Amino acid sequence: MADNSDDGNDRNDEPKDIGVTVKKSEDFSEWYQQIILKSEMIEYGPVSGCMIIRPYAYSIWEKIQNFTNREIKSMGIQNAYFPMLIPESLFNKEKEHVKGFSPEVAWVTQGGNSELPERLAIRPTSETIMYDSYSKWIRSWRDLPLRLNQWCNIVRWEFKHPIPFLRTREFLWQEGHTAFATKQEAEKEVFEILDLYRRIFEDLYAVPMLTGIKSENEKFAGALYTTSVETLFPNGKAIQGATSHLLGQNFSKLFNISFLDAEGNKQYVWQNSWGITTRTIGIMIGVHGDDKGLLIPPRVAPIHIAIIPILFEDSMDKVLRKCFEIKEGLSKTRYHEDHLNAIVDDSDDRPGYKFNHWELKGVPLRIELGPKDLEKHQAVLVRRDTGEKTIVKISEINEISKELLDDIQKNLYERSLKILNDSISKTDNLDDFKKLIEEKKTVLVPFCNNPECEDNIKAMTGAKSLNSPLDQKNNEMKCFSCNALTKTLFYFGRSY
Ligand SMILES: [Zn+2]
C-alpha cells in the first residue's frame, strides 16, 4: 500500500459537488442524465432535443473522426461538403425516401422577413442533394467509382422524449455516399464499412456488437437492404449503433446517375450510403459507466491518467515537481495512434475529493504520489475499472501504464461481451418469446421477414427486430409468430 493514509492537504474539506446520487441498476435513465451532466460531457441547449457537446465529449468524437478518416481514406474515399439546405422539389424526388423522413423534417420557410418561394429542408440526410451533383459529375465508366464522405450535422425533428447522444433533434455524423459500376463492387463496400463500424465499437469503445442485416420493416427508406451493428444496454434495451446500406439503383434511376460503359452502353450506377453518429458516445456511456460515473475505455479517453499529488507543506514542491516530471514522460510515450495524455491535479482540494472527481469523469488510470512514495522512488497506480492498486517504480511508470491501459480496454470489452451473451436467448415459439421479452432478453428467432408479421409482433410485445446475423446456413424453419416458412434467424428485442 502507498503511504497515503494521512490523506495530505486538509485545506478544503467541503466537497464542491455531489457525485452520482442514483445507482445505475436502480434507475438507468436518471443515472445516465446525471453522469453526462456531472462529468461535463454535455449541457442542455435552449431548444429541446438540441444538446451542447462540451470539449470532454467532443474530443472523444474527434478520436472517432481521426480513426474513421484514416480508414476510409485508405479505402479510397474522399471527404467533401454539401449544403445543409435542400429545396423541397429536390427532396421530394424519391417517394419512399420522403415517406420515411417527412414526419421528421424541419423546414425553413422564411428568409429575413420575406417568405421563400420554395420551402427548404434542413437535411435529415443528404442522399437527394448529393445525388443531384453526382448526376452531373458521372458520365463515363472512367468517372467511377465515386466515393465521397461528409462530416456534418443532421436535424431530425424527433417527437419522442429526447435523450442526449441517444435521441436528439440535431446530431453529428459522417455520411458516406458512393457510386459504382457494378452491384458486386457496391456490396463489397457495404460489408467493409459495416466491419469498420464494428471495429469502431469493439476496438475503440470496447462495446461488443451484433452484426447483421436489418429486416424489410426496419431497413433504410429507399434501400435494397440495410446492414447494422447493434448492442444492448444493461437495462436490457437494444440500441442500433450504425448502419451501412446497399441503395441499389433506386436513386440512380430517379436522379439519372448514369454512365457509358466501356462498350458505349448507358448504365445506371450502384449506390451505397453509410453513417455513424455521436450516438456512439452515448452507447459507450451507457454500457461502461458505473455508480461512480463514467468509465471511458483507454482508446477513446480524452485523459488517460490523472496524477494526484498527496501534498504536505514541507514536501509540496518536491512532490509536485515529480508529478509534472511523470506527466512529461507519459506525454512522450506512444499509445496506439496517440500519446499518453496525463493531467496533474494540483488544485487545493483534498485527495479524496480528487479521486472521486476523476473517477466520475471516467479517467481509466490514476497515479497517486506522496512524499513517502517519492523517498522510495515509487508511485501507486489505481485502475478505474477494478479499483486494483499497483505499486510501481517511477522509472517503469510509462511502460506499466501502457500495459495497464491495454488491460483495462480488454477487460471492459470482455465484461460487456459476457453481459451481451448472457442476455441472448433462443426460441421458436411465440409464447416463450413473449416471456423472454418481458424478462428483457434479446431473443434469436426464426422469422419470415414479412413487414406485416413484424408489425403484429410489435403490437403484441413492444419488441422489434434488431438484425439478422451474417453467414447463416439454416434449414427450413417456421416463423415463430406466423408459421410461414423461413431459413433466417433474427434478433428481436425492445429498443431505443
Ligand atoms: Zn412471420
Domain boundary residue, one of 242, 265, 288: 288
For 196-217, what is the mean pLDDT? 98
Contact by Cβ (8 Å): 258, 249: no
Tell me if 193 is assigned to some domain: yes
Rounded CA-CA distance 266/252 in Å is 12
**Site of grid cell 470489452:** 413
pLDDT at residue 303 in the model: 98
User: What distance in angstroms lies between residue 379's CA and the mean position of ligand 1's atoms?
Assistant: 61
Burial of 457 (0-12, 13-18, 19+ CB in 10 A): buried
Whether residues 400 and 435 share a domain: the answer is no
> Which residue is listed with cell 440500441?
239
482 alpha carbon – ligand 1 mean position (Å): 4
CATH number for position 351: 3.40.50.800
Ligand 1 centroid vs 451 CA: distance in angstroms? Answer: 8
For residue 446, the CA-to-ligand 1 centroid distance in Å is 8
Q: How far is the CA of 480 from the centre of ligand 1 (A)?
A: 7
Alpha helix segments (H runs only) across 200-278: 250-254
Is the pLDDT score of 297 beyond 80?
Answer: yes
User: Would residue 202 count as lying in a domain?
Assistant: yes
Spacing, Cα 449 to ligand 1 middle (Å): 6
Gap from CA of 100 to ligand 1 centroid (Å): 23
Confidence of residue 13 (pLDDT cuts 50, 70, 90): very low
Does residue 23 lie in a domain region?
no
Averaged pLDDT for residues 233-256? 94
Distance 424 CA to ligand 1 centre (A): 20
- Answer yes or no: do 125 and 220 share one domain: yes
For the segment 37-78, what is each residue's pLDDT rounded down to a tens digit? 999 999 999 999 999 999 999 999 999 999 999 999 999 999
- Rounded distance, CA 329 to CA 321, Å? 13
The pLDDT of 387-393, averaged and rounded, is: 98
Distance CA 351, CA 354 (A): 5
CA angle, residues 393, 387, 241, in degrees to nearest 5: 115
What is the distance in A from the centroid of ligand 1 to the CA of 460?
A: 13
Distance CA 49, CA 70 (A): 31
C-alpha to C-alpha distance for 85 and 67, rounded to whole angstroms: 28
- Same-domain status, 269 and 120: yes
CA of 454 to the centre of ligand 1 (A): 7
Tell me which residue has cell 491535479: 345
From CA 352, how far away is CA 5, in angstroms rounded? 11
Cα 476 to middle of ligand 1, angstroms: 13
Separation of alpha carbons 135 and 128, rounded Å: 11
Does position 334 have pLDDT exceeding 50, yes or no? yes
Burial class (CB in 10 A: 0-12, 13-18, 19+), 374: buried
Give the Å distance between the CA of 47 and the centre of ligand 1: 41
Q: Give the closest residue to 485 by CA, choosing from 473, 474, 472.
A: 474
Task: Specify the 3-state DSSP secondary structure of 349.
Answer: strand
Task: State the pLDDT at residue 17.
Answer: 58
The SS3 assignment for 132 reads: helix
Of 393, 348, 406, the closest CA to residue 367 belongs to 393
398 with 459, same domain: the answer is no
The residues that bridge with 309 in the sheet, in sequence order, are 369
Q: Which three cell numbers stand for residue 67?
A: 480513426
- The pLDDT assigned to 4 comes to 42
371 and 479 share one domain: no
Contact 128, 91 (CB under 8 A): yes
Q: Cα(465) to centroid of ligand 1, in Å?
A: 12
- Write out the H or E segment, with its range, that includes residue 100: helix 95-101
Helices (DSSP H) in 306-379: which residue ranges?
A: 316-331, 351-360, 371-375
* Interatomic CA distance for residues 356 and 294, integer angstroms: 11
Count how many Cα atoms sit within 13 Å of the Cα of residue 299 in the half-sphere of its side chain.
24
pLDDT per position as a tens digit, 413-469: 999 999 999 999 999 999 999 999 999 999 999 999 999 999 999 999 999 999 999
Ligand 1 centroid – CA 437 distance (Å)? 17
- Centre of ligand 1 to C-alpha 456, Å, is 9
What 3-state class would DSSP assign to 253?
helix
Going from the Cα of 485 to the center of ligand 1, the distance in angstroms, rounded, reads 8
pLDDT at 155 over 80: yes
Q: How far is the CA of 169 from the centre of ligand 1 (A)?
A: 33
Number of domains in the chain: 3
The pTM of this model reads 0.94
CA of 234 to the centre of ligand 1 (A): 29
Nearest by Cα to 212 from 493, 488, 495: 488
Give the distance (Å) from ligand 1 centre to CA of residue 495.
20
Here the cell at position 351 is 485527495
Does residue 334 sit in the same domain as residue 433? no
Q: How close is the Cα of 481 to the center of ligand 1, in Å?
A: 5
Average pLDDT in the 313-331 region? 97
**284 in the same domain as 305:** no
Distance 461 CA to ligand 1 centre (A): 14
Q: How many CB atoms lie within 10 A of CB 159?
A: 9
Ligand 1 centre distance from Cα of residue 159 (Å) = 30
Radius of gyration of the chain (CA): 26
Which residue shows C-alpha cell 500519446?
339
471 contacts: CB under 8 Å, gap ≥ 6: none
Q: How far is the centre of ligand 1, averaged over its atoms, from the C-alpha of 377 (Å)?
A: 68
277 and 327 fall within a common domain: no
Any idea how long the chain is? 496
Among residues 468, 420, 493, 442, the alpha carbon closest in space to that of 212 is found at 468
- The parent domain of residue 438 ranges over 424-493
Alpha-carbon distance of 83 to 86, in angstroms, equals: 7
**What CATH number is attached to the domain comprising 273?**
3.30.930.10
How far does the centroid of ligand 1 lie from the alpha carbon of residue 97, in Å? Answer: 25
